Amino acid sequence: MTKESENDEALIATLQEASRHAKTGDWSSCLALCRDILDQAPHIFFANYLAGIASIQLGLQDDAIAFLCASIEQYESDHNKLSMLCDLLFESDRAEEALPYLERLVVIAPGPDVLNRLGAIHADAGRIGEAIIRFRQSLEAQPEDNIASAGLYPLLRVTCEWGDELDQLSQNIDQLNEAALKRGDTAPEPPFDNVHRVDVPQVNYRVARSWSTHLQESVADALALQDVSRAVTAHRKIRIGYLSGDLHDHAIGHLMRGVFRTHDRETFEIRAYSHAPDIPSSYREDIRRACDAFINIREISDTSTADLIKADEIDILVDLMGYTRKNRLGICAMRPAPVQVTYLGFPGTTGSDFFDYTIVDAIVAPPETSKYFGETLVYLPNAYQSNDNTQKIPQADANLYRNILNNFEFIFCSFNNPIKIDQKFFEIWMKLLKSIPNSCLWILQNNSRAVKNLTQFAAKSGVAAERLVFAEMLPRAEHLARMACADLGLDTHFYNGHTTTSDALWAGLPVVAMQGRHFASRVSASLLTAAGVPELVTQSPDQYAERALHLATHPDELSEIRSKIERNRGNCALFDTVSITRDLESAYAEMWRRFGRGEAASTIKVASLD
């Protein structure tokens, strides 16, 4: 017998012994033997597979992924192995790495679940066309009770593919949500997508509530090991912890930079827990310098971050994301701070029990809607939205946009993400263009499919393609200067411009808005009122259309409103960074006072400083 043969026999015997340990559940011994085998012969597929199973059982997720990847053959046909690896990659927030394995699964088992996962990966990576294809394939394979409807709908909205398919998908999602909620399950539609689609506060609450309940259940074991109660600590200052992945060159960074700079450091100690992308920007650096501590938690798990926040003795934890993309609400679900607040990022309720308060104003959350919030409402006296009044005031650059300014006498604009545009309001915009000779609509270019669809819709409405002027994404300063060149902003309906509207007002641009029925559709009304121009707020689509047409045809009145916005910019409530910071601090102080006295959370109405 050759030495190689003897070695092969020894490896086979060791592998058989490892298999016996697996059958008896002795996973540590199984993994140790597999490692011995792989040290000598790293490409034995079954040894890698068995080591992967053992690693899963031992909670070694990264090792399990590595072993299972090594166990995959070129033309792998083991459905269970591929599915197991894809599950691990999704759980580890490495979904993009699952793509080749899902593509292989589609070949051997092209079911809706695999197609939906492929669609989700492509959508998350911005490959909209591929995502749409996969979700449509999934619906063709299983038209009924398929969560692909919830994945496909927002993609057709962001590409402005309106019509019967979109309407049917919305009906499907309603049915899927309702069925899941009746079973006590999580709604298949994410809360962030729901507030874009549905303007009914009760529905928004029920969907969000199902997601928060799932979150709480997922951290129940970790929570059981913690003592969530804590007495008022001895440190003199109230410790505020801000949690966000958007403390950089992002809308939340733009809005919050002034608050961080303005906080009263004699009374409050400010810490930021940031999981933002590691991309340098002046916003991130300014916020970092304004904090007592700026902790990067991007590579730290939710559980470890919760432990860190608790060890830091944070008194009030303020989440700035809610159910927006890439949130870390799992941290908040573990209750690391005695008082927890959600603010600014998500326009609505999280529906949760792990937030004590949410910060609003009387326009975005009228008192009668409080029953549709899981959190207790904290009312600021003016707009709930913070702003940074130290940012540079933009100046219209006629030379930069000479082609637009020379070619058109009146410029309407809407720089909102196209997912916010609905067919009814776009029809209103087209009628405005037809009513105002030599006018154009300046609109954000987010994706090529939306450009094509909007252009085609305009043509069907009798509007020439050149009257839609598509604007590329620009750095913030250039974007604000561009806004200053337009004549009239047109707000969106179901989900208003939020930062977009306050940016327009900072640029001196009047914006016509319609006050809707839920938080997301009432933000512009709040901002315009706080900016001192409530006359730009309308109550119906007809009023909206009439107001926009009136202003476009009465230049003196429009000019006066523009001058009013510019005069108010330095003293209106919307851009009074000091006052809104003091209002927030008053709210925090009252929350902490109530906690110290053992009082339950109850409505807080912050008094105006005026």
Which residues make beta-bridge pairs with 316? Answer: 240, 339
In this prediction, residue 5 carries a pLDDT of 53
Query: Phi-psi bin for 25: left (phi > 0), alpha (psi -120 to 50), beta?
Result: left
460 and 332, same domain (yes or no): no
Q: 463 lies in a domain?
A: yes
Contacts by 114-122, CB closer than 8 A, 24 or more apart: 115/141, 115/148, 116/146, 116/147, 116/148, 116/151, 117/86, 117/90, 119/148, 119/151, 119/152, 120/95, 120/151, 121/95, 121/96
The SS3 call for residue 378 is strand
**Cα–Cα distance list, 304 to 334, 335, 544 (Å):** 11, 13, 50
User: In sequence order, which residues have a C-beta less than 8 Å from that of residue 302 and are 6 or more positions away?
Assistant: 219, 328, 330, 331, 334
* Domain stop point among 189, 218, 247: 218
Give the position of tokens 């910019």.
Answer: 569
15 and 73, same domain (yes or no): yes
241 and 367, same domain (yes or no): yes
455 and 570, same domain (yes or no): yes
In this prediction, residue 4 carries a pLDDT of 46
The SS3 call for residue 364 is coil
502 and 539, same domain (yes or no): yes
Distance, CA of 93 to CA of 147 (rounded, Å)? 20
Q: 4 lies in a domain?
A: no
What are 18-58's pLDDT values in tens digits? 999 999 999 999 999 999 999 999 989 999 999 999 999 99
Angle at 103 between CA 101 and CA 105, to 5 degrees: 70
In 3D space, the residue among 8, 86, 347 whose CA is nearest the CA of residue 208 turns out to be 347
Distance, CA of 424 to CA of 77 (rounded, Å)? 49
122 and 239, same domain (yes or no): no
Range of the domain at 455: 402-574
The CATH number of the domain where 556 resides is what? 3.40.50.2000
242 and 373, same domain (yes or no): yes
Total domains, the chain: 3
- Distance linking the first and last C-alpha atoms of the chain: 96
What are 384-420's pLDDT values in tens digits? 999 999 999 998 877 778 888 889 999 999 999 999 9
197 and 263, same domain (yes or no): no
Which residues of the chain are modeled with pLDDT < 70?
A: 1-7, 223-235, 609-610
The CATH number of the domain where 164 resides is what? 1.25.40.10
In 3D space, the residue among 466, 445, 463 whose CA is nearest the CA of residue 403 turns out to be 466
Q: 1 lies in a domain?
A: no
In 3D space, the residue among 80, 107, 71, 102 whose CA is nearest the CA of residue 89 turns out to be 102
30 and 179, same domain (yes or no): yes
Q: Where are the beta strands (DSSP E) in 320-464?
A: 339-342, 357-360, 376-379, 410-414, 439-444
Q: 396 lies in a domain?
A: no
Per-residue H/E/C for 47-84: HHHHHHHHHHHCCCHHHHHHHHHHHCCCCCCCHHHHHH
Residue 430, φ and ψ in degrees, nearest 5: -65, -40
Q: 397 lies in a domain?
A: no
174 and 245, same domain (yes or no): no
Q: 395 lies in a domain?
A: no
Distance, CA of 485 to CA of 499 (rounded, Å)? 18
190 and 250, same domain (yes or no): no
379 and 407, same domain (yes or no): no
Distance, CA of 458 to CA of 54 (rounded, Å)? 59
Q: 610 lies in a domain?
A: no
Q: 93 lies in a domain?
A: yes
In this prediction, residue 610 carries a pLDDT of 58
Angle at 313 between CA 248 and CA 214, to 5 degrees: 70
Distance, CA of 128 to CA of 123 (rounded, Å)? 5
